[in-house]
Amino acid sequence: MLTEASAAASITERTAALIDEVVRPNAAAMARGEGIRPDALVRAAGERGLAGLLLPTRYGGAGATHVEFAAFVEAVARVCASSAVILDVHLSVGSEPLLLFGSESQLQRHLPRIASGEATAAFALTEPGSGSDAAALSSHADADDEGYRLTGTKAFITNCGAAGVYLVTARTGPGVRGVSAFIVDAESPGVQCGEPLHKMGLAGSWTGELVLDGVRVRTEDRLGREGMGFRVAMAALDSGRVGISAQAVGLAQGCLDDIVRASRAGERGTDDALLADLEARTSAARLLTAHAARLADLHEPMTTAASIAKLYASDTCVAAAIAAVDLCAPDSVRDDHPAAIRLRDAKASQIYEGTNQVQRMVIARALLRA
């Protein structure tokens, strides 16, 4: 529940409080795969009025802009990328599709719980046999007199096992137009979550397999019309790429912090040219992310802008992480060194929310269609 002190503070002040009181004290443990649970982190954000950042105030949200959302994710990622991706998924792909495509009844039923932090949100699109090709999913929703039964397996789902509500895509017919989206309560019979994966990076973020074994879903829990699922997924990914771009900017800024800190302490010599290039690239990535976020706020087409931001910001954060390990060596060979942690965390930003190879396809096709 939002505290009285948090309600009176600005989003920037609330963000700083969350980072100082929750994110930073847990950052080292999160990097080891320990620390605060994802749902506890979301509740902590809810206590500070941040768990419904993009949701309207009438549903208990903060009514913030996408520009403010991007600044929030960047600030958290600068300190802890695991915490940033947990919150990003909850705030964007886990809840925005509900806002965009949900009925008023669905909004009233789910958004207040998400905005308060009572329920953590997750987005279940990827499957063992369909990653970049989202339309190739095989999970299916079989219609009957009472609604649907969902059967299939989702893979690499962020917040899996901690979420209270999952937005799930499943096949109701052939082809792209045969994909539908559903709202699935985590307590529904037949919902099973595997153990969190042991990953190279982002160890504090729970990523796992979601198994749907004949899960009963009512017709009123379908999100949008039957056959709209691919459209729901693509809209979710556009917004999600703004969040991942912001996470990548925060990681890159954290790497710059590491390099500058080591140089000022006289521990290492400074490569002025490399440091300047990293600052320029990080600043450019921040501006590209803000541009995509503004387009989202203006309800203008943003697919290409989001892909450009995601491509450039994630490539920048990986380059910055490699440079930080180089310039902070030999201390950075320790697995608990901040630069080493950021290097492990950075790579994922080039993969999820659409690989960078896919982003290049999106950008090139937009140019050829123009």
- CA proximity to 275, closest of 328, 345, 312, 337: 328
89 in the same domain as 8: yes
Catalytic residue among 74, 96, 209, 353: 353
pLDDT at 135 over 80: no
pLDDT at 7 over 90: no
CA distance 17 to 272: 34
Backbone torsion region of residue 186, taken as left when φ is above 0, otherwise alpha when ψ lies between -120 and 50, otherwise beta: alpha
CATH number at residue 147: 2.40.110.10
Q: b/e string for 129-167 if b means 16 or more Cβ within 10 A?
A: ebbeebbebebbbeeeeebbbbbbbbbbbbbbbbbbbbb
Residue 96 appears among annotated catalytic residues: no
Tens-digit pLDDT profile for residues 193-215: 999 999 999 999 999 999 999 99
For the segment 186-190, the average pLDDT, to the nearest whole number, is: 97
295 in the same domain as 208: no
CA distance 65 to 88: 14
Give the N- to C-terminal CA distance of the chain in Å, as an integer: 48
pLDDT at residue 133 in the model: 77
Q: Centre a 10 Å sphere on the Cβ of residue 333 and count the other Cβ atoms it contains.
A: 11
Kindly report the pTM of this predicted structure: 0.95
237 in the same domain as 339: yes
CATH number at residue 23: 1.10.540.10
Share above pLDDT 70 across residues of the chain, in percent, rounded to a whole number: 97
339 in the same domain as 209: no
| Domain range for 327 | 230-369
Tens-digit pLDDT profile for residues 287-327: 999 999 999 999 999 999 999 999 999 999 999 999 999 99
361 in the same domain as 288: yes
Count of the separate structural domains present in the chain: 3
Tens-digit pLDDT profile for residues 108-126: 999 999 999 999 999 999 9
pLDDT at 3 over 80: no
Looking at 91, 116, 141, the residue that finishes a domain is 116
Q: Write down the mean pLDDT value for the chain.
A: 94
pLDDT band at residue 169, thresholds of 50, 70 and 90?
Answer: very high
Q: What share of the chain is helix, strand, coil (3-state, %, to 5)?
A: 55, 15, 30
Looking at 226, 254, 269, the residue that finishes a domain is 226
**Cis-peptide into 338, omega within 30 deg:** no
pLDDT at residue 1 in the model: 57
pLDDT at 358 over 70: yes
305 in the same domain as 275: yes
171 in the same domain as 51: no
DSSP 307: H
Tens-digit pLDDT profile for residues 67-89: 999 999 999 999 999 999 999 99
333 in the same domain as 239: yes
CA distance 360 to 370: 16
314 in the same domain as 281: yes
Looking at 226, 256, 273, the residue that finishes a domain is 226
- Token pair of 162, please? 């901690």
pLDDT at residue 151 in the model: 98
pLDDT at residue 366 in the model: 96
268 in the same domain as 174: no
96 in the same domain as 18: yes
35 in the same domain as 50: yes
pLDDT band at residue 131, thresholds of 50, 70 and 90?
Answer: confident
